[in-house]
Amino acid sequence: MATVGLTDVRKTFGRTEVIHGIDLEIADGEFIVIVGPSGCGKSTLLRMVAGLETVSAGEVRIGERRVNEVEPMDRDIAMVFQNYALYPHMSVFDNMAYGLRIAGRPKAEIAERVRAAARMLQLEEYLDRRPRQLSGGQRQRVAMGRAIVRKPAVFLFDEPLSNLDAKLRVQMRLEIKALQRELGVTALYVTHDQVEAMTLADRMVVMNEGRAEQVGAPLEVYARPATMFVAGFIGSPPMNFLAPADLNGAAAPALLAALPPGTAAIGIRPEHLELVPADRAVLSGSARYTEALGAETLIHLARPEGQTLTMRIAGSPEGIAPDAPLHLAAAPATIRAFDREGRAIVPT
């Protein structure tokens, strides 16, 4: 087990800098999720920690040791990739044993470690099979097993679940979290899936165009996004954004007066919009269409100004007629204010 430290880490490909200086201190045993849209630099950052990419500037530490110049195999890390990268011609046992054999561990120890990992991952009855004779979820487990047997100080995951169907993803997500807890190994996990990030992370790093926009516990990031980018990326459906001038209900003047100076945009989560009598409304809209999901309903509202808003209510959409005018408000404490650069104005 180990801490991981990044100090002003940068990556340049040719003349293009794609990682613009990341600082991050990861505690021993912590589960960190790096989340962001495609191309924002998640894999590049992870690969620099793994040693698969050189670090153009800054420092990467594992434990107390600077590892910028240390070979991947000497960094005491294990990486699980999206495509699992299993050896097709080797049995499950041999796939899991491979790294230990390369490291020259004694045969008995290898057998013991592989069996222990297989037990943990419920792979014992598949040890003689080839990868192609396994389901996607089982292959995923073998890739996990191969990482576990090495007893690394740090696990690195790059979108390890994206090849699985939705149901299996949820199951494997829970298994990865449970395993990481049980083993107490520090983990860095890359995904573009904000649900994975929310559910797995002790802290998440929301990346955008090579920068860490916000680092924090999932619920803290959800409740207090530092920027409009984070507010729009974390949460599904995303936060609604409006200009102050869009507030047009009877109660709008009071709300406008309470907004902090410099407010260029306000953000309201779909679950914070509520139906109110006309005299308390800050906004109006009409239900364009509804998505009843059973436990909750998403109501997509059309506004006179042409934008759409999303509202989330518990239960079914009874009493909400299509195209009927609706009066909306949100508790002031739930409304986020952003400045012209899209940064949250705190406190709001």
Ligand X SMILES: Nc1ncnc2c1ncn2[C@@H]1O[C@H](COP(=O)(O)OP(=O)(O)OP(=O)(O)O)[C@@H](O)[C@H]1O
CA–CA distance from 115 to each of 19, 58, 294 (Å)?
40, 40, 43
- Closest approach of ligand X to the CB of residue 56, in Å: 12
Q: 3-state DSSP helix/strand/coil percent for the chain, to nearest 5?
A: 30, 30, 40
- Closest approach of Mg ion to the CB of residue 42, in Å: 5
Find where tokens 């999901």 sit: 293
Q: Does residue 13 belong to the site contacting ligand X (CB under 6 A)?
A: yes
User: What are the backbone dihedrals phi and psi of residue 28, each rounded to the nearest 5 degrees, phi first?
Assistant: -60, 125
Question: For residue 226, what are its two tokens?
Answer: 């530092």
Closest CA to 70 of 56, 89, 55, 92: 55
- Closest approach of ligand X to the CB of residue 34, in Å: 8
Nearer to Mg ion, 37 or 260 (CB): 37
**How many CB atoms sit inside 10 A of residue 212's CB?**
23
- Closest approach of Mg ion to the CB of residue 16, in Å: 17
Q: Does residue 327 belong to the site contacting ligand X (CB under 6 A)?
A: no
The CA distance from 209 to 193, in Å, is 16
| 39-47, 50-58, 260-268, 318-326 -> range binding Mg ion (CB under 5 A) | 39-47
Nearer to ligand X, 53 or 296 (CB): 53
| Alpha helices per DSSP H over 105-165 | 107-120, 136-148
The CA distance from 96 to 278, in Å, is 65
| 38-46, 196-204, 209-217, 238-246 -> range binding Mg ion (CB under 5 A) | 38-46
The CA distance from 168 to 157, in Å, is 17
Q: Which does 192 bind (CB under 5 to 8 A by kind): Mg ion, ligand X, none?
A: ligand X
Residue numbers 26-65 binding ligand X by CB under 6 A:
36, 38-44
Q: Does residue 15 belong to the site contacting ligand X (CB under 6 A)?
A: no
Q: What is the contact mask toward ligand X in residues 167 to 196, using x (rule: CB under 6 A)?
A: -------------------------x----
Nearer to ligand X, 19 or 97 (CB): 19
Interaction site with ligand X (CB under 6 A): 13, 18, 36, 38-44, 192
